Amino acid sequence: MEDRNTSRIKMLYQFIKRTTRTIDLTDEYIEWLCFANAGMLHKGNLYCFDLAIKHLPSNKPILEVGSFCGLSTNILNYYLKRTGRNNKMITCDKWIFEGSEKGRYLGNSDVLHSEYKAFVKETFIRNISMFSRSNLPYHMEVTSDEFFKLWSDKEVVADIFGREIELGGEISFCYIDGNHTYDFARRDFENTDRYLEKGGLILFDDSYDGSPFGCARLMKELVRNRDYELVIKNPNYLFRKKK
Q: Where are the alpha helices (DSSP H) in 22-112?
A: 28-36, 44-54, 71-83
Convert the pLDDT of each residue in 103-142 to its tens digit.
899 999 999 999 999 999 999 999 999 999 999 999 999 9
Distance CA 66, CA 96 (A): 10
pLDDT band at 22 (very low <50, low <70, confident <90, very high): confident
Instruction: Look at residue 7 in the predicted model and tell me its pLDDT.
Output: 52
Side chain identity at residue 80, one-letter code: L
Q: What is the CATH number of domain 4-241?
A: 3.40.50.150
Instruction: Look at residue 62 in the predicted model and tell me its pLDDT.
Output: 98
DSSP H or E stretch at residue 221: helix 215-222
Pairing of strands 89-92, 62-65: parallel
pLDDT band at 54 (very low <50, low <70, confident <90, very high): very high
Domain boundaries, the chain: 4-241
The answer to pTM > 0.75 is yes
- 68 pLDDT higher than 90: yes
pLDDT band at 14 (very low <50, low <70, confident <90, very high): low
pLDDT band at 5 (very low <50, low <70, confident <90, very high): very low
**Mean pLDDT estimate for the chain:** 92
Nearest Cα to 68, choosing from 91, 99, 49, 43?
Answer: 91
- 9 pLDDT higher than 70: no
Q: What's the Rg (C-alpha) of the chain?
A: 18
pLDDT band at 243 (very low <50, low <70, confident <90, very high): confident
Instruction: Look at residue 20 in the predicted model and tell me its pLDDT.
Output: 52
- 6 pLDDT higher than 80: no
3-state secondary structure of 106: coil
